[in-house]
Amino acid sequence: MQAKLNHGLAALLRRVGVVPVLTIDKLDQAVPLARALAEGGLNVLEITLRTACALDAIREMVRAVPGAIIGAGTVLSPEQGAAAMANGARFIVSPGMTPRLIDAAATWPVPFLPGVATASEAMALADMGYRVLKFFPAEPTGGVPALKALGAPLADLVFCPTGGIDAAKAPGYLALPNVAAVGGSWVAPAKAVAGGDWAAVTALAREAARLRVS
């Protein structure tokens, strides 16, 4: 059941092209940030579980921005996945995979996007029925040439690269046939978020929303 749901992620990711990866430092920034991104056309958002207010941020975004699809990132354990879903997360992202996470994800009612950086990791997940994988950390792992090379032997797999991608680098990834979307934090610069410059965030989102895969 879960693997089938993971297959469905490809269409969702292709529809948006860019998934903002957001680390929320202050809870009162969460809803205005989600609204600013959605207004710019980016409505699939990954909230990393790296800050104390991350779960509350997910819950408030889900409640206040119903047009957005809010997921949780940096999920390292089944317990974190469960907490994220209890707060309304509609997809779960991990930088990698562990046997515990894979076992738990098989029971989750929402899709799981596990991370890989090598052919062996991708093959292991493909064996388990996963088709859509996060490629992380994309730039340090070899970037566009690496993902292009993986696509030759692993032609059935679809990737969402994240890590070190910005507006200039995103088009190179999105031109690859095995990329459904890219993830990144560049659409929500720390300075704009801290200063409440939501117009700047919307402008970056609008630019990013034009990048989706052809």
The set of catalytic residues is 46, 134
Binding map of ligand 3PG across residues 146-175, x = CB under 6 A, - = no contact = ----------------xxxx----------
Query: Which 119-148 residues touch ligand 3PG, going by CB under 6 A?
Result: 136
The answer to whether residues 132 and 105 touch, using CB atoms and an 8 Å cutoff, is no
Residue 164: CB atoms within 10 Å: 16
The answer to whether residues 212 and 10 touch, using CB atoms and an 8 Å cutoff, is no
Q: Is 185 in the site for ligand 3PG (CB under 6 A)?
A: yes
Q: Which is nearer to ligand 3PG, 17 or 183 (CB)?
A: 183
Question: Could you say which of 12, 18, 19, 21 contacts ligand 3PG (CB under 6 A)?
Answer: 21
For the purposes of burial, counting CB atoms within 10 Å of the CB of 1, is it exposed (0-12), middle (13-18) or buried (19 or more)?
A: exposed
Q: Which is nearer to ligand 3PG, 81 or 129 (CB)?
A: 81
| End-to-end Cα separation, the chain, in angstroms | 29
Q: Which is nearer to ligand 3PG, 115 or 152 (CB)?
A: 115
Q: Quickly tell me which residue has 């696509």 as its tokens.
A: 151
Q: Is 78 in the site for ligand 3PG (CB under 6 A)?
A: no
What does the alpha-carbon distance between residue 90 and residue 110 come to, in Å, rounded to a whole number? 6
DSSP state of 67: T
What is the binding site for ligand 3PG (CB under 6 A)? 21, 73, 136, 162-165, 183-186
